[in-house]
């Protein structure tokens, strides 16, 4: 029990810092930690991955709320982009939560592992995006952001993340400056996290086995609270650092970290 709580606190703190710093990755770390900790907390093995993803989304709500407030106070959120992305993200978040519940634990585990690998490879080998565009303002509020948001929301809800690893590159491609892309991603992630967490909690698809006390649908609230406690502490610190140093080297280091997280998820069960 003590080990599991320690793992969740450390994972939450790391996820909060990384989420504030890069706008990406925090949820994957929480999913990995939960996949290791939940069996010791009484969650049946067959339900571990589904509960890990659902609980990660609940944790992200508080993590991103803390990070988003810090970014909003700095005035770096592109609200026009958020207005186009958020509605689709809500729809996608709900749809993705239902899709995840239809997937087997094996498929879900390896799907998340594959996402870690692809994201890491893109961070290492992807071309550097230019932040200049002929009409960045027009592109950042393109109607195409609505279906793009729905797709990001659906994938994020299945994987258990806030969508920053997809939202940030999209905004960079549309000419948004890196710091503003990270800030906007944090606020957009709230739309995904809230909608998908509610969908997991209020799901009509009952878990195959009874879950421990404190569970609501697929959410295991005690684990979410512990991880969130750690994440909320360091999310503002990460947001502050994001405004003070370049993130290129950190992204490459984090790519290696993603590979480790993917391995933990793949072989942790």
Residue 175 — φ and ψ, nearest 5°? 95, 10
The number of C-alpha atoms within 13 Å of 265 and in the hemisphere containing its C-beta is 31
Question: Percentage of the chain with pLDDT > 90?
Answer: 29
Task: Give the list of residues 6+ apart from residue 174 with CB closer than 8 angstroms, or none.
Answer: 81, 133, 136, 139, 140, 142
DSSP state of 212: P
CB of 48 closer than 8 Å to CB of 33:
no
In terms of average pLDDT, the best of 126-140, 198-212, 214-228 is 214-228
CB of 192 closer than 8 Å to CB of 92:
yes
Report how far apart, in Å, the C-alpha atoms of 93 and of each of 3, 12, 80, 207 are.
Answer: 32, 22, 20, 19
Alpha-carbon distance of 198 to 186, in angstroms, equals: 19
Alpha-carbon distance of 23 to 18, in angstroms, equals: 7
Q: Is the pLDDT of residue 241 over 80?
A: no
**E strands of 20-175, at which residues?**
none
pLDDT at position 268: 65
pLDDT at position 69: 86
> In which residue are the tokens 């890491």 written?
120
Residue 161 neighbours by CB distance under 10 Å: 33
Determine which of 28-32, 63-67, 117-121, 134-138 has the lowest per-residue pLDDT on average.
134-138
DSSP state of 129: P
pLDDT bucket at 131, cuts 50 / 70 / 90: very low
Which position has the higher pLDDT, 133 or 60? Answer: 60
> What angle (nearest 5°) sits at the alpha carbon of residue 142, between those of residues 117 and 135?
100
Q: Is the pLDDT of residue 133 over 50?
A: no
* Burial annotation 112-137 (CB, 10 A radius, 16+ → b, else e): bbebbeebbebbeeeeebebeeeebe
- Joined together, the tokens standing for residue 31 give 């999913």
Q: Hey, is 216 helix, strand or coil?
A: strand
pLDDT at position 89: 97
CB of 215 closer than 8 Å to CB of 224:
no
User: Phi-psi bin for 217: left (phi > 0), alpha (psi -120 to 50), beta?
Assistant: left
Residue 216 — φ and ψ, nearest 5°? -130, 110
Q: Global pTM?
A: 0.82
Question: Percentage of the chain with pLDDT > 70?
Answer: 84
Q: Dihedral of CA 122/113/92/22: which sign? A: negative
Query: Domain range holding 118?
Result: 2-267
pLDDT at position 1: 65
Q: Is the pLDDT of residue 135 over 50?
A: no
Q: Is the pLDDT of residue 245 over 60?
A: yes
What total of structural domains would you count in the chain? 1
Q: Is the pLDDT of residue 130 over 70?
A: no
In terms of average pLDDT, the best of 40-44, 151-155, 244-248 is 151-155
Which position has the higher pLDDT, 252 or 201? Answer: 201
CB of 189 closer than 8 Å to CB of 61:
no
Q: What is the pLDDT of residues 159-198, one digit of tens each?
A: 999 898 899 889 988 888 888 888 899 899 999 999 999 9
Q: Hey, is 174 helix, strand or coil?
A: coil
Which position has the higher pLDDT, 128 or 166? Answer: 166
CB of 197 closer than 8 Å to CB of 37:
no
What is the rounded average pLDDT for all residues in the chain? 82
């Amino acid at each position: 029990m003590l080990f599991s709580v320690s793992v969740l606190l450390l994972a939450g703190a790391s996820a909060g810092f990384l989420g504030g710093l890069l706008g990406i990755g925090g949820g994957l770390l929480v999913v990995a930690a939960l996949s290791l900790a939940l069996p010791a907390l009484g969650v049946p093995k067959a339900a571990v991955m589904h509960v890990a993803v659902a609980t990660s989304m609940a944790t992200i709500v508080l993590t991103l709320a803390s990070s988003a407030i810090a970014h909003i106070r700095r005035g770096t959120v592109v609200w026009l982009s958020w207005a186009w992305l958020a509605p689709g993200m809500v729809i996608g978040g709900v749809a993705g939560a239902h899709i995840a519940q239809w997937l087997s634990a094996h498929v879900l585990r390896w799907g998340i592992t594959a996402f870690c690998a692809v994201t890491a490879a893109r961070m290492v080998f992807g071309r550097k995006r230019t932040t200049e565009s002929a009409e960045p303002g027009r592109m950042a509020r393109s109607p195409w952001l609505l279906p793009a948001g729905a797709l990001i929301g659906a994938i994020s809800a299945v994987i258990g993340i806030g969508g920053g690893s997809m939202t940030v590159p999209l905004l960079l491609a549309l000419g948004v400056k890196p710091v503003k892309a990270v800030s906007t991603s944090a606020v957009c992630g709230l739309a995904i996290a809230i909608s998908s967490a509610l969908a997991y909690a209020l799901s009509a698809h009952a878990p195959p086995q009874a879950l421990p006390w404190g569970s609501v649908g697929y959410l295991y609230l005690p684990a979410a609270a512990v991880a969130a406690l750690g994440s909320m502490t360091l999310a503002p610190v990460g947001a502050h650092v994001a405004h003070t140093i370049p993130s290129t080297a950190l992204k490459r280091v984090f790519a290696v970290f993603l590979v480790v997280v993917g391995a933990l998820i793949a072989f942790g069960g």
